[in-house]
Structure 1
Amino acid sequence: MTQDKLVRDKVVDALRRAIVDGALLPGRRLTERELTELTGVSRTSVREALRRLQAEGLVEESPSRGLRVSVPTREEVEQIYEIRAELEPLAVRLFVERASREEVDMLARVAQEVTPGGEGNKDVLDRFDQILLGGCRNPMLAELLGGLYSRIHSLRRISVASEDRMAAAKQEYAELIEAIGRRSAPDAADAARRHLSAARASVMTAMSVLMQEAD
């Protein structure tokens, strides 16, 4: 790996993390000058990093000019959840069939950390997803779902701020973990579908909030 490629990869990782963590909010206009000062690299490296992030769907053209952090449309979110509704139950089924006892116990412990009103819920759910995707032993499936999670990062951050939603989600995760603990792939997949249906409804509500913030 050349030094230039190593620098570009680090810039991409840093900017992607800033977007996913919410340091760069949806709708935020991005300028090469600002990002050059933020990352300490050349404008050429920043420009190439932005092209990669645009290909990932995390950055888009601004209605005025230049680029901005992507603001997903309702249609895009609907499409993402249509795909998740097919892929995530598959990941759960594979996790039941392939995960170790240690991974199952780890997933259960993380699920217990979900708390209504908890400020760290997004980080908890991110760790839950990482364990689930790792335990399904299918890197391609994990890559596809990981990309979808990145596309709705901002919506998840808004959704998990709702105490009512997280109280319901905690119960949904408990049902999922119970089925996984019994190693019942069909029951676990059904629990995943119920969770996704509720999560989709919550995220579509969060869309209204996001659109107001982006205006």
Structure 2
Amino acid sequence: MKQDKLVRDKVVDALRRAIVDGALQPGRRLTERELTELTGVSRTSVREALRRLQAEGLVEESPSRGLRVSVPTQEEVQQIYEIRAELEPLAVRLFVERASQDEVDALADVAQKVTPGSDGNRDVLDRFDQILLDGCRNPMLAELLSGMYSRIHAVRRISVASEDRMTAAKQEYADLIEAIRRRSTSDATGAARRHVAAARASALAAMSVLTQEAD
């Protein structure tokens, strides 16, 4: 029984990563047969993994039949960023109050690696998010934000590919780090709010590109 759970968890992780990384594009139809061949596990394990991913919002029912990789609507993106605009500044405030100096230094080091025009920015930002969420010392908040980051993975991927957006983001992160180093909760949360507002505008602009990709 424990082995079955381990297999299911590995399948969920593998499929989640394929979706978030863009290997399985938004709108891509998913069949149990294809995923069974891809993962090398039973249809039962694939079926249960798809149910998990559907609960996370990464997989949805297809307009025709079966399941597909979720295609977020503009309304859903708006709603997610409304929530993110409140939760991310909270995570930043808790990070300022609770993170060790080593974690602050690690966050600053990662922020400096944001390079406009680079293919590696997605991994850099994922690492930034992870350090921030670990340092806020609130697992429930970290889980909520991680789930939202996954739900908007497609528009974030498009935004990260924009050199203009990454140039602006690099400065936003620099402002945030400067405030965190001073342990100023008000300045850090303000910087976080400005960053989320800019990210929201970029995400909404990316929706037209995402819609074309999913067609």
TM-score for both structures, normalised by structure 1: 0.99
How do 1:146-185 and structure 2 match up within 5 A? Answer: 146-185=146-185
Compute the RMSD of aligned alpha carbons.
0.7
Q: Please list every run of at least 4 consecutive aligned residues from structure 1 whose deviation after the TM superposition is greater than 3 angstroms.
A: none
Distance of 1:138 and 1:18 partners within structure 2? 27
Which ranges of structure 1 fall in alignment gaps of 5 or more residues?
none
What letter corresponds to residue 165 of structure 1 in structure 2?
R
Q: Which residue of 2 aligns with 1:121?
A: 121
Superposed CA offset, 1:125-166 (max 9, x none): 000000000000000000000000000111111001111111
Q: Which residue of 2 aligns with 1:107?
A: 107
Superposed CA offset, 1:82-113 (max 9, x none): 00000000000000000000000000000000
Q: Which residue of 2 aligns with 1:140?
A: 140
How do 1:1-215 and structure 2 match up within 5 A? Answer: 2-215=2-215
Superposed CA offset, 1:10-53 (max 9, x none): 11111111111111111111011110000001111101110111
Distance of 1:196 and 1:2 partners within structure 2? 40
Which ranges of structure 2 fall in alignment gaps of 5 or more residues?
none
For residue 7 of structure 1, report the CA deviation from its aligned partner.
1.2
Superposed CA offset, 1:171-215 (max 9, x none): 000000000000001100000000010100001001110001101
TM-score for both structures, normalised by structure 2: 0.99
Secondary structure in 2 matching 1:65: coil
Distance of 2:136 and 2:122 partners within structure 1? 21
What letter corresponds to residue 142 of structure 1 in structure 2?
A
Distance of 1:183 and 1:6 partners within structure 2? 41
Q: Give the % identical residues.
A: 86
What letter corresponds to residue 148 of structure 1 in structure 2?
M
